[in-house]
Amino acid sequence: MNYGRTYNFSAGPAMMPEPVLEEIRDEMMNYRGSGMCVMEMSHRSKVFQQIVDEAEADLRALMNIPDNYKVLFMQGGATLQFAAIPWNLMKNGKAVYIETGAWSKKAIAEAKKYGEVIVAASSKDRNFSYIPDVSDLDIPEDADYVYICENETIHGLTYQQLPNTKGHILVSDQSSMFLSKPCNVADYGMIYAGVQKNVGPAGMSVIIIREDLIREDLDPKMPVYMRYDIQAANGSMYNTPNCWAIYCCGKVFHYLREIGGLEEMARRNEEKAKILYDFLDSSKMFRGTVEKKDRSLMNVPFVTESAELDAEVVKATKAAGYDNLKGHKSVGGLRASIYNAMPKEGVVALVEFLKKFEAEYNK
């Protein structure tokens, strides 16, 4: 059906799969004979418990999450986790962070409030246009964890290879790449993601954490909400969770299983990204800003020769029905976020538009 929807290249909140939105619409007034909308339901009801259980089961199946990992659904976005991670995981008060862009910088600034932060590698010297060498980091023996932002949403870079943590646990912010490709959960101590980038509506984070890292001997001043032990012991329902986000994300988890899982999703994402990067590499007007080897499949920043022309292109794309292509204010230029739910047709149409723009400009 044609709903008159735009190709929305927003970095987040972002597009959701159309079949999922249709299902949500169909269940809006009366969820499966319950006589109410999910938004109106008690989180303590049997019918809602089933929604949570199914969402977790689908996510576990999708990612092959081992049994010794807990799945938590928490509010506060990824930003709350910037504080929750050091507060929950710093036993020795020391952690190693890799600085690759805006989101790792924010995580570092927050972690510094709770303990010693060692920035063991950074790509600040070249404006975060590459992933630094992380194969042989200087990691103190007593560091509690190694932290990465696995896909930097604003700068558009991603890790092809995880850091050598030398036996320390790895904590990864996967917000803007969560479920974009297969992921071996056992490589991590903890994975987390704000869901509004690549999964569902804003207002929730998914946390996947190895059980033995969940501690109870925590700072007594810590807000009860932020304690992973309390969240885990109460099935993410110590208090009222974001019921709506859990419901919508559950539908997306299920949808991803139905289309063939994360292998199929990765295949589609690689195909889409290649179309856009191939164009950027062949264009004389546009160029990508990230070193080829570290390019993100999800967020594609690019520029022209001038800020004025960048602005002109953004304006033209918007007028043509391609929304949210303006680069983040800290970086400028343009950025196309092509998450899971962006159809290939959207990327093809954008590239055709940019090609035409370039040809007409050069006339």
From the list 58, 70, 87, 103, the catalytic residue is 103
Q: Minimum distance between the CB of residue 66 and ligand PLP, rounded to whole angstroms?
A: 24
The C-alpha atoms of residue 246 and residue 204 are separated, in whole angstroms, by 8
77 binds ligand PLP, rule: CB under 6 A:
yes
Query: For strand 322-323 and strand 7-8, is the pairing parallel, antiparallel, or unpaired?
Result: parallel
Residue 315 annotated to the active site: no
Given 8, 9, 10, 12, the residue binding ligand PLP (CB under 6 A): 12
14-73 binders of ligand PLP (CB under 6 A): none
From the list 105, 197, 251, 326, the catalytic residue is 197
Q: Which of 101, 246, 241 is nearest to 173 (CA)?
A: 101
From the list 58, 70, 144, 173, the catalytic residue is 173
**Rounded alpha-carbon distances, angstroms, from residue 348 to 121, 161, 306, 353:** 37, 29, 25, 9
Q: Minimum distance between the CB of residue 274 and ligand PLP, rounded to whole angstroms?
A: 22
Sole window of 75-83, 207-215, 224-232, 263-271 interacting with ligand PLP (rule: CB under 6 A): 75-83
123-152 binders of ligand PLP (CB under 6 A): 149
241 binds ligand PLP, rule: CB under 6 A:
no
In the complex, residue closest to ligand PLP by CB: 77
Structure tokens at 243: 């019921």
Output the CA angle 179-185-187, nearest 5 degrees: 130
> What size, in residues, is the chain?
363
- Count other C-beta atoms under 10 Å from residue 145's C-beta: 24
- Closest CB to ligand PLP among residues 77, 261: 77
The C-alpha atoms of residue 208 and residue 172 are separated, in whole angstroms, by 10
- Closest CB to ligand PLP among residues 101, 288: 101
Structure tokens at 134: 């992380």
- Closest CB to ligand PLP among residues 42, 127: 127
- Closest CB to ligand PLP among residues 290, 313: 290
Residue 355 annotated to the active site: no
173 binds ligand PLP, rule: CB under 6 A:
yes
Given 78, 245, 252, 265, the residue binding ligand PLP (CB under 6 A): 78
103 binds ligand PLP, rule: CB under 6 A:
yes
Identity of the residue numbered 345: E
The C-alpha atoms of residue 91 and residue 115 are separated, in whole angstroms, by 10
Q: Where are the beta strands (DSSP E) in the chain?
A: 7-8, 69-74, 94-99, 116-122, 146-149, 151-152, 157-158, 170-173, 190-194, 205-210, 287-288, 299-303, 322-323, 334-337
The C-alpha atoms of residue 154 and residue 145 are separated, in whole angstroms, by 24
Given 88, 153, 317, 340, the residue binding ligand PLP (CB under 6 A): 153
Number of residues that bind ligand PLP (CB under 6 A): 12
Residue 244 annotated to the active site: no
x/- letters, 191..220, toward ligand PLP (CB under 6 A): ---x--x-----------------------
Rg of the chain over CA atoms, in angstroms?
21
Q: Which of 181, 334, 192 is nearest to 260 (CA)?
A: 181
**DSSP-based three-state secondary structure for 352:** helix
Q: Minimum distance between the CB of residue 176 and ligand PLP, rounded to whole angstroms?
A: 4
158 binds ligand PLP, rule: CB under 6 A:
no
- Closest CB to ligand PLP among residues 14, 285: 14
Structure tokens at 309: 């022309």
> CB-based contacts of 329: which residues, under 8 Å, 6+ apart?
none
110 binds ligand PLP, rule: CB under 6 A:
no
304 binds ligand PLP, rule: CB under 6 A:
no
176 binds ligand PLP, rule: CB under 6 A:
yes
| Interacting residue ranges for ligand PLP, rule: CB under 6 A | 12, 77-79, 103, 149, 153, 173, 175-176, 194, 197
Which residues belong to the active site?
103, 173, 197
